[in-house]
Every structure is written in structure tokens, then in C-alpha cells.
Structure 1
Amino acid sequence: MELLSASLLLLLCLCCILLGSAWKSRNQPGQLPPGPTPLPLLGNVLQLGRANVIHALEKLREKYGPVFTVHLGSRRVVVLCGYQAVKEALVDQAEEFSGRGEIPAFSKDFNGHGVVFANGERWRQLRRFSLTTLRNFGMGKRSIEERIQEEAQCLVEELWKTQGAPFDPIFNLSQAVSNIICSIVFGNRFDYEDEKFIALNKLIFKRFRFAGLTSAQLYNAFPGILGKIPGPHQTGSKCSQEIISFILERIKLQQATLDLNAPQNFIDCFLVKMEQEKQNPATEFSMENLVMATFNLFFAGTETVSTTLRYGFLILLKYPQVQEKIHQEIDAVIGRDRAPTVEDRGRMPYTDATLHEIQRFSDILPMSLPHTVTRDTRFRGYLIPQGTYVYPLLSTVHFDPDGHKDPEAFAPERFLNENGSFRRQNAFLPFSAGKRVCLGEGLARMELFLFLTSILQRFTLRSPVDPQQLSLAPDVSNFGKVPPRYQLCLRQR
């Protein structure tokens, strides 16, 4: 009995210590932004819920303002809402907010390697190398444009095989976009019927979708516990390991035929750099960084673009009048006899505006990726300690009523001026901003335009159900938004 009483007393004392610690950390002179009181160990997980973390954070914004603090488990996070707060942090204080935080359910697969989840000198060297290499192989130049044009025609031919029957475009779009990355990374594209290629794209889709599920959110809040036990929260990591195995197999093939004096693709260039720095004990050009940098390019370069296109086609099914205006602009500027080019975009303001509005409205990375502050940072009168996680909520930028009139409506006209010319909007950050802005932004913009116009040049999109019945609500919405599955029919123009 005495032992039981002592145990209960010990437990009570422990709870008091944890509560005191949580309260103390919340009220440090420092003056972190305000926020809800965290529970010991759980933090604010119960207040944030599991189904829609974004919605819960937006509700907290109503109470605490555009800058507030929450605790995801034991991790302290400063949340930024609205264009002005996000811009002040990521652009005006770019260096201070340039650190990268972890998303345990995803970043554990990288272990700090590659580009996206790296920090410090490793991040700087690998990002600089990746940007230089992509430019040398034509990112933003005609050679990459030609590859996208060729792939777009392959996609059009594949879509033609549907003969007007209803189909789900999910893997057609994923394979086409993935082939662009393959041509950059491996130096060649894959046939759409290639079994390994099909399996790879299914894994990438599954991995992206998992990142937004409840099990992944719980893993992110309690990685120390859930990382050690089996369950559905480990599904994403299993997908990652299979993707990594595919990449390793390709790297070994290229190592066997590598010509150090004539690198042909991203992997070749990295292998050459590894050879040049093999005597440098501090080099960041290692096999692990090569595998993870390649994984970064595949994942970021495939699923984000294909998901945006998939969301865009669903929106055009819902609003056929928008599609008709794009058709008119394609006919007037490009015609039916030549392939679209990047130069055409500047003469197609309505199409350009529609692509911007698709990216704004689909908002496929609503929480962006977590940042950390690289040193103790003064921000809006608060003091954010070094290492604190920062989530810039891009959804609150894209749906900011101060930046967009009637933000819940899909309206390409918001990106047009009174003369019908394209106009930029400040509250538009689908690629994030500052030092961590997406390194593939130029490539993604090129792909979105050329794939969309190439398909609409040849086809009219039709829904097998009444467009009024189509829902634009995402199927998954946390770390990433995934559009609902749908069917479309293609009618040749």
C-alpha cells in the first residue's frame, strides 16, 4: 500500500514538474508570440485535432493574431499567417529564417542529407551545385523546353488512346512529369508501359498522399515514441526505401559507364564531383547525398507538378467557360499546327492568369515546409530563440482576404488588369520565398504551361457527370493537399 502511495505521489510530482516546465517555456522572458497553453508531452495536439490541422491553425489565428506559438508534442512552433507576416520573415529577414526543420514522418528517410532537409554548409553546397547543374543541362533554356515539348506530345498520344472513354488521369500525368525529371537525372525517359517506371510513380504518389494522413501527423508530433513501434505510420518510410532502391540501382548502372570528361546528366555530374573531392575528408559530395538529392528532385519535381495539373484539370471540368477561353487564346496565338513554346506564355495572358489561379486555389503545400531560425531573432516585437521551428502557412497567403478579393472563388481575372494584361499578385507564393524558395521553380512553371496548352490544343475536357456535382474539396489536406479522384473524357478538337 505504501509503495502504491509513493508511486502515485511520484507521478503527481512528475506531472507538476512537466506542467511547470511547459508553463515556464511558454512564458519565458522572450517573449515568444502568444498561443494556447500546451499540455505536458501532448502539447497542443488535442486542440489541433487530427483531420484538418490547417483549419485548426486558422481558428487559432482568429484568437491570437497572425503570429502565434503552438506545441506539436514537445516541439515549439511559431506559426506565421497572412502574406505580410510570411513576407516579413522569409524575405525581409531571409537569413534568420533560412534554417530547415524536420517533418519526422518524411525527413527521417533523409537523415539530414540531400538538399531539402539539409542545413548549414551541406545545404549551401548541395543547393549551389544543384542549381548550377540544372542550369547547365538547360533549366530555363531551350534544351529542357524541347524535352518537355517532346514529352507533352508523348502524353497527348497516350491520352488519344482513351478514345473519349472516361478515365482517371492520375498516373498519365504523373508519368509524363516524372519523365522530365528522369531525362535530367538519368539522361533518358521511360516508356509509359515500363513496369518499373509504373511502380516508381505509384510509390511517389503513395508517399505524397501519406504525408497528409492522420497517422503521419501523429508521427510528426510523437516521433520518439512512434518511430520505435510498427504500424500504419511506417507506411511512408517503406515507400521511401523502395524509391531509394530504384535510385541506387540506376546510380550503379551509370557508375559502370561513366565518362569523367563527358557527364551526361545530373547523376553523372555528381559522380564527377565525388571523384574530384575524394581526397577531401569534409566533402559533402558523398553517395548518401547523391541518393537523397536525387530523391529530392524526383519527389519535388514529380508529385507537386502532376498534382497541380490534376487539380487544374478538375477545375476546368468544373468551370468549362474557363477552358473555352483558354481554347480561344490557344487558337489565336498558337493555332493547331505547331507545338506550344514558352515564348507563347507572354502572349497568352488569360492562360497565364488561369495557371496562376490554379496554383493559388489548389494550394497543394498549404503548410509549406518547416523553417527554423538560425539565431535568436527579433520579429514583430517577439524574441524567437535559435532553433525554433517556424511554419509559414501558405494557405493563409493564398486565401488572404487582404491580398485577394473573394479568395474562396476560382477567378483567373484576379491576375488580369483592366486591359486584360497579366498582372502579378504579391500574395502568391506556391514555391515559397526567400533563401529556401523551390530550386525547381523555373522548371515547374515551364512544365505547367507546356503540358496544359499541349493537351488543350488537341482536346476538350469533359466530365462524365454534371460539372455542378464535381467537388473541388481536397481528398487529403494537411502537409499536402490531394485533389479527389475523378474521371474525365477527352474529345478531339
Structure 2
Amino acid sequence: MFLTVSLCVLAFVLYFVLVAKAPKSGDPPSPGWYPLVGSLPFLREPLEEFLSEKQFAKQPVVVLYMGLEKLYCLNTYEAIKDAFISQGDKFLGRQQTFILPELTGEKAGIILSEDEQWRLYRRLSLKTLRDFGFGRQGAEEIILGEVEELRSGIEDQGIQAGLPLDTVPLLSTAVSNVICQMVFGTRLASEDPEFGRVLEMFQRITQSQNNRTRSMVFQLHQNYYVKLKPLLRLVIALRRKQINIFGELIKFCRKQLEKHKADLGSPEHPRDYIEAFLHQQASNPSEFNDVRLSLAVLDLFIAGTDTTSQTLRWAILFLIENPEVEKRLVDEIKRVVGSDRQVTMKDKSQLHYTQAVIDEVNRMACLAQLGVAHRCTETARVCGYEIPKDALVLFNIFNVHNSVDHFPQPECFRPERHLDQEGRYSPDEHLVTFGIGKRACLGESLARMELFLFLTNLVQRFTFRLDPEETRTIAEIKANPGHQGGGIRAPAVHKIKFDSRREEE
């Protein structure tokens, strides 16, 4: 009897590994497959660059057999548009994680939420943030205030002291305080030790999981961990540091909630994002509980802090590397704005080359190379290939942004590609920095405003050069990004020497 049962179990396991999980006729192309390990022996890091090599670059869909699970990658703009625009309702799902339920009992905030919870929180988040100037004048005033704080910091810490500056804390503080004022109703002082600790934790979250392949294998097999309790306990132990960081950040958000509850203003005129949601909580306490609100706040910070500040770091490097671009950018700002006042959003429509430079920075920096994974909520057919229900789907932004069909000589920094024949700004639909479709980035309008106002005002006031003691070239700094994979792609650690542009002139 025991032998019979054992043979049946063995037969099932062999079937599961060798047949059920094996490639099927009609599957999209893949790098290769072996039992148990799937495509893993064939993959190389960075994964987005591997999927952009000659054999895959023009394949609309590629499937990776990540151990026992499949991972689909939309590899061309046409495939991304077919899935997220033409069939957008089939790709609204997100992969769930065991970490949040382990910590909070809730599955997700905004980024990882699904179905009605996602629709409700996204709709209310957009409405609330618009009311506070998300993409309008209120946000502009906040950003310009932080621009002035940043200018003062650069002059005091850098120029007057004659020192090169690490732009990570400098830019992260400025960008974080924009979202702080919109969400918490106040800015946090850079010298505040709690603020410094929170910023560091946010950066550690976005900088974690440096190996994309290892990260995706881990995420794809979460269902096995949850079903096998001893394995789940082992995984939790191995991920304890990351779980603890999330726990500390959630505590910080809960602390801000309690402060607001103690001094709650009028529901007709909420002072910030948290207060607006607390008033919603009064009418629907089960849907707008403290945990979900804390997770929503956490999502806004994770999505809105490191991404913008790292894009600005890339922009400074590209300008140092391309002095002719910097000169043309400075000349346009000087001609349209002058040097006696801040650049504002009213100037944007006349700054065509400036907008083209920002688009080219977004194209080449390509922070979220493979996007945020979508879950297929029902079986779909994309560019002729079937993607089954519950499959996880990435989209290769890196390949789209480096496509020779859409961007000739993609390795060259050429803002002119975003201008028409008359020299007017002409946005390219193939630039998908913020994603496309219904699950595109919630904060795109704010991020675009921040990039424009921070970059133009920095360029107007300062010149940039690498730390004179830096031994690496810019190409080497760019070729060895500081973190990528589970987080975003950022330049390697370096320092910038700022000088007053007015003194240089």
C-alpha cells in the first residue's frame, strides 16, 4: 500500500514538473527550458537588457519559465499597447505579497490593490490630490518653495563651503517634502532625525532586491510559501530585515494618522490628503480603515520620492556629459525667463527644448525598466499569443526606449528627437516612462511638474561638474547603477561640484 501511494505521488510530481509546467505548443518564444529550473540557466542580468538582445528585441511577447512558474514579458510597444490599452480590463490585477498580510492583515494599499478597492482608492486619491493642487497651482507653489530650500542648501553646503555634494540626500529631501506637504500638511526639517531615518528606509525599500531574476523567482512562488507553513516561516525569517523596514514605515504613517485625528478640521475644507481620507473614514469605516490609509500613504511616498530624485540625478549626469545640450538648455531658459526670477509652469509652453531634454532624460534613464507587474485577470491574446488567467506580466520599457525603429541611435542623448521640424516640442507616444492604460502611474502629473521645476531652476542657477577627486568617468558611473532589479535604476554613488552660474557668466 505504502509503495503504491509513493509511486502515485512520484508520478504526480513527475507529471507536474515534466508535463504540466513544460512549454506548450503556441507559447511565446523563450530563452529555453529545463525541468524544475525552467529558463533560469539561460538568463543573464540585467534581465531587461537580456530581453532586448537581437533574438528577442522584436518579439512582441517573451515567456520566461522561472522555476515552476511562467512569467510573461510584453517586449514591444505594440504588445504593451495591445494589452494595456486595447484589452486594459484584462490586465488590471496585481501580484499579491505575503509581507503586507503578515504585518497588517491587509493585502494592499494603492499600488498592489485590485478590483473595487483599487478603483475606490485610486479615484479618491486622484480627486483628493487634485483638490490640493496635484498638477495645478497649489502643487506648483509647494514645489517652488522646495526649489528655494534646495538652492539655499546647495549654496550653504556646497558653494560657500567649497565642497562637492552627494545629491542623494539633497534631492531626496526636497522631493520628499513636496509629498509631505500634500499628504501630511507640513514639511519635515532635513535635520529632523526621524525624517532622516524615514528617508533612509524608503531608499532601502526601493534599493532592495538588486537581482531582478532572483527577485521574480521569489515573488512568483509565493503561493507555495503560503500553502507550506514551514517554508513560509523560513522565508519570513530570511526576509525579516525587509519586513521590519515595512513595519517601521507603517508605524510612521500610523503616527501621522493619530496626529491628524487629534486635530481634525472641517470636512468641507480638508487641509491635506490624510485629513480628507479621515473624513471618508467617518462615513465608511470598514473600507477606509487606518491600516489601508497607512498603506496608501506609504505607496505615495515609495512611488513619489526616490523616482523623481533619481531622475534628477540622471539629468545632471547627462548634462555634464553633453555640454552642448546644457548650453542650448541654458540659452533657452535665459531667453524665455531670464535669470532674475524662478522658472514657473507658465513658462513651460515656451520652453520647447527644455521639455525635449526632460523626455530624453526619461527615455535614457529608464528607472522602472520592466515596470510594475500586472496580473492577467482573464485569459487574453496579445499579438497572437495567449496569456492565461492569473499569469504575471511585465513590460519591457527598456526595450521600447532603446528600439532603433522608434528612436534611431538610441544610445545617443538627442533631445532633438522630441521636437518637430519647426523646433516645437512633440511628445512621442513610444515614451512609456509612467506606463500606459488604466494602471499608469497615479502621480504622473505631479512627477512631470517636479522634474520641470526642479531641473529648470537648478540649471538656471548652477553649473555642474563631477567631484574633482572622482576617479571614475561619467560613463563608468552610468554603467554601474547603484541599484536596480526589485527597485529602480539609479546612478552609482557620486558627488557633484556646484558653482553659481551667474559668477561663471
Q: TM-score, with normalisation over the residues of structure 2? A: 0.88
Query: 474, 489, 492: which one pairs with 2:497?
Result: 489
CA–CA distance in structure 2, aligned partners of residues 153 and 54 of structure 1: 38
Alignment check: 8 A CA contact 1:106 1:211 kept = no
Secondary structure in 1 matching 2:262: helix
CA–CA distance in structure 2, aligned partners of residues 401 and 468 of structure 1: 29
Alignment check: 8 A CA contact 2:329 2:353 kept = yes
- Could you say which residue in structure 1 is the equivalent of 2:455? 452
Alignment check: 8 A CA contact 2:97 2:107 kept = no
Query: Is 2:265 the counterpart of 1:266?
Result: no
- Could you say which residue in structure 1 is the equivalent of 2:30? 35
Query: Is 2:88 the counterpart of 1:90?
Result: no
CA–CA distance in structure 1, aligned partners of residues 109 and 272 of structure 2: 17
CA 1:108–1:454: 2 relative to 1, 3 Å: farther
CA–CA distance in structure 2, aligned partners of residues 36 and 430 of structure 1: 26
CA 1:127–1:343: 2 relative to 1, 3 Å: same
| One-letter code aligned to 2:265 | D
Bigger shift: residues 140-149 or 53-62: 53-62
| One-letter code aligned to 1:312 | A
Per-residue CA deviation, residues 464-493 of structure 1 (Å, 9 max, x unaligned), is: 348992122223332421211111111112
Alignment check: 8 A CA contact 1:79 1:391 kept = yes
Structure 1 residue 75, shift from structure 2 partner: 2.7
Aligned-residue RMSD, C-alpha: 2.7
CA–CA distance in structure 2, aligned partners of residues 487 and 227 of structure 1: 42
Percent of matched pairs sharing the same residue: 31
Superposition map of 1:342-421 within 5 A: 342-421=345-424
Secondary structure in 1 matching 2:173: helix
Query: 321, 327, 332: which one pairs with 2:330?
Result: 327
Structure 1 residue 441, shift from structure 2 partner: 0.5
Alignment check: 8 A CA contact 2:21 2:68 kept = no
CA 1:131–1:108: 2 relative to 1, 3 Å: farther
Per-residue CA deviation, residues 432-473 of structure 1 (Å, 9 max, x unaligned), is: 000001111000000001011111111111223489921222
CA 1:483–1:439: 2 relative to 1, 3 Å: same
Alignment check: 8 A CA contact 1:22 1:40 kept = no
Query: 61, 65, 71: which one pairs with 2:59?
Result: 65
Query: Is 2:488 the counterpart of 1:478?
Result: no
- Could you say which residue in structure 2 is the equivalent of 1:56? 50
CA–CA distance in structure 2, aligned partners of residues 106 and 218 of structure 1: 19
CA–CA distance in structure 2, aligned partners of residues 140 and 64 of structure 1: 36
| One-letter code aligned to 2:258 | K
Query: 186, 189, 197: which one pairs with 1:188?
Result: 186
- Could you say which residue in structure 1 is the equivalent of 2:247? 241
Consecutive unaligned residues in structure 2, runs of 5 or more? 226-230
CA 1:487–1:227: 2 relative to 1, 3 Å: farther
- Could you say which residue in structure 2 is the equivalent of 1:305? 308
Secondary structure in 2 matching 1:335: coil
CA 1:227–1:403: 2 relative to 1, 3 Å: farther
CA 1:226–1:169: 2 relative to 1, 3 Å: farther
Secondary structure in 1 matching 2:49: helix
CA–CA distance in structure 2, aligned partners of residues 468 and 206 of structure 1: 25
Alignment check: 8 A CA contact 2:140 2:345 kept = yes
Per-residue CA deviation, residues 160-195 of structure 1 (Å, 9 max, x unaligned), is: 111242121101100100000100110011111111
- Could you say which residue in structure 1 is the equivalent of 2:168? 170
Structure 1 residue 358, shift from structure 2 partner: 0.5
Structure 1 residue 130, shift from structure 2 partner: 0.4
Structure 1 residue 19, shift from structure 2 partner: 3.0
CA 1:197–1:416: 2 relative to 1, 3 Å: same
Query: 282, 291, 294: which one pairs with 1:291?
Result: 294
Structure 1 residue 93, shift from structure 2 partner: 1.6
Per-residue CA deviation, residues 277-325 of structure 1 (Å, 9 max, x unaligned), is: 13xxxx4222121011100101101011111111111222222222222
Q: TM-score, with normalisation over the residues of structure 1? A: 0.90
- Equivalent pairs counted in the alignment come to 482
Alignment check: 8 A CA contact 1:219 1:227 kept = no
Structure 1 residue 113, shift from structure 2 partner: 1.9
